[in-house]
Structure 1
Amino acid sequence: MHLESLKYFREVASEKSISKVAKKSYISQSALSQLIQKLEEDFGYKLLNRSNKGVALTELGEIVLKYSNNIIRNYETMVEELETTVKQHNKVRINGTWSLVTYSLPCVIYKIKKKYPNHQYELIASTREDTITDVQNDICDFGIINDALDPEHNLFTYPMGKEKIVLIAPGKYNIPQKIKLEDLLHYDMIMCNSNNNIHKNLEEALKTIDKKVDDLNIIFNATTDGAVKLAVSNGYGLAFVPYESIKHELYEKTVKVIDIEDVSLDYDLYLISKKLGQLSKARKESIEYFIEIGPKSFC
């Protein structure tokens, strides 16, 4: 029995006419009659009574029609679920910091997409803590976080290099190209409160001169690197930002990078995911290629 024949049988039963269904389906009446006859032969029962007025279901035809609706509906549901499952298995969700998702990761994903055109990718800006939770709960497939994980998380972890952090000033700001850490106390500062690593590393650096972040002249805190860059471009003060996020502003010369003697606020980046053996083929392939091309492919 072919499902196609069952579908035609259902249509004929509904229209009570082989000729009408043949015309509507763009097949010959004789071809459709043969399909219905073959279906009857497969079952071994007469399903339709034929007359000059059309066709009518036999008692056994009524039974076939009743079950054909379920069979066809279940088949269509099965096909739909198969397609949905395949699409979901080919979908790869990636978490990262706002600056990484906005500036660095798109170039990497572009190259991965070229290698695996059937995979679908989604980038999501997220905090370190939310990324860890999302990976554990299968909300995202892998993420890029700053700082190493504790072993208790039981996740796959791979070092991906460092995020370079720079001090920027307005392009026309009157400030030396290189300053000492203590010189920061004499300038207005803008902080990004969404990047805990910058704050933490700056706090550690200031300890070396017996100072704290609270000792700086912080004009205001912003929620994103974008807001910080805009404030610096408008001449409101200095700020620490990821280098990848200011390439355009450096080209336009609306900001400039200021060196600080013997101070680095760079922090480590790590790729995290479930153990590779637990992942679908699309996710495992994407992670492995991401590791292969690595930070050298960041925008």
Structure 2
Amino acid sequence: MMYGSTHSKIDLAIEYQAQVPALRPSIRARRANITVKFQDLYGFTVEGNVDDVNVLNEVREKVREQGRVWWSLEASKGVNWYLQTQLNSTLKSSLKFSVLVNAITLKRLIRKGIPPSLRPKVWFSLSGAAKKKSTVPESYYNDLTGAVEDKVTPATKQIDQDLPRTFPGHPWLDTPEGHSALRRVLVGYSFRDSDVGYCQGLNYVAALLLLVMKTEEDAFWMLAVLLEDVLVNDCYTYNLSGCHVEQRVFKDLLTKKCPRIAAHLEAMEFDVSLVSTEWFLCLFSKSLPSEVRLPFTLFSYTLNILTPHC
């Protein structure tokens, strides 16, 4: 025999089949090694394999479908129907019921995703930022940023150090124009609330707000409503006491919902706050892809403000 008497045809066939996966990797394995780079909706560079891109395309298609639902409701209920969730108590019961239905529908739609073109208006109005802005003179933001432009404080020094570290490589944020806009928002707020001043992590939050809200002033008021009305008190003050509260709640939640993971981390003597502190201070802005963190992580903090009926 050609292969010698010690190997039967069956043995050779089995040996050959065992080598096939090594000689010819599967289609899935080959696709996993193909790296693709592109810019997402907000200008961030995304890198992943073909399967990652396919998943992202599926997400985008769902967002487009959700957008069609929003525009359909806009056509049937009228312009800005989603802003009419709170009416005074003198309205008729039928109108109150209509408001309740709108509020429930709105909350469900927000959880599924807000179309990017509507996010600035929806976030600004439903978060309470528009109401907060209405309580001060119209020129408040311009007057504030103009008055503190040349002021030097420990907060401004730290802000200047953090500007080039905030999403380096982004086509707008990592430019002189982007740095200037982000600096005005952060410095302005540091003087508005001296108890907070500036805390590292706020630069990432404010940067994402700038990308979504499009204007500095709207980003400033969104930052104000997050820190003053939505997030845990003292989350960004000097001793970070609010952040420590969040860490304790997270640990308790981890023990309750994922006991095996919690037990494993405890056995390893690993302090989960070493990882999760950044999550809470940056509102997950450094931990998730931008097309996930922007529609979800920021506005999810304001969802509970919509209406008591939701």
TM-score (norm 2): 0.27
Higher helix share: 2
- Bigger relative contact order, structure 1 or 2 (CA pairs below 8 A, ≥6 apart): 1
Could you say which structure has the higher strand fraction?
1
